[in-house]
Amino acid sequence: MDLSAYLDRIDYPGESAASRDTLRALHLAHVLAIPFENLDGYRGVPVSLEPADVFAKIVTARRGGYCFELNGLFSLLLEAMGFEVARLIARVWYGAKPPYPRSHQVLLVKVGGEPWLVDVGFGGNGLLEPIPLAVGHEARQLEERFRLLSGESGEYLLQAWIHGEWDSLYSFSTQPCQPVDYQYANYFHSHSPDSLFMQRRVCTIPTREGRTTLVDQSLSIRRNGKNEKTVVGSDAVYARVLREHFGIVLP
Cβ neighbours, 10 Å, residue 120? 29
Q: Which of 27, 30, 67, 203 is catalytic?
A: 67
Residue 203 annotated in active site = no
Residue 109, beta-bridge partner list: 85, 116
Q: How are beta strands 218-223 and 138-141 bridged, if at all?
A: unpaired
Q: Which of 27, 30, 40, 119 is catalytic?
A: 119
Beta carbons within 8 Å of 81's beta carbon, 6+ residues apart: 3, 16, 18, 22, 26
Give backbone dihedrals phi and psi of 231, rounded to 5 degrees, phi first. -100, 130
Beta carbons within 8 Å of 38's beta carbon, 6+ residues apart: 66, 189, 190, 197, 201, 202
Residue 137 annotated in active site = no
What would the DSSP string read from start to end of 57-112? IIIIS---B-HHHHHHHHHHHHHHTT-EEEEEEEEE-TT--SSPPEEEEEEEEEET
Go through 25-47 and write b for each residue having 16 or more CB atoms within 10 A of its CB, e for each that does not: bbbbbbbbbbbbbbbbbbeeeeb
Q: Which of 27, 104, 189, 245 is catalytic?
A: 104
The region that residue 165 occupies, defined by phi over 0 for left and psi between -120 and 50 for alpha, beta otherwise, is beta
Cβ neighbours, 10 Å, residue 180? 8
Residue 53 annotated in active site = no
User: What's the distance, CA 247 to chain centroid?
Assistant: 16
Active site residues: 67, 104, 119
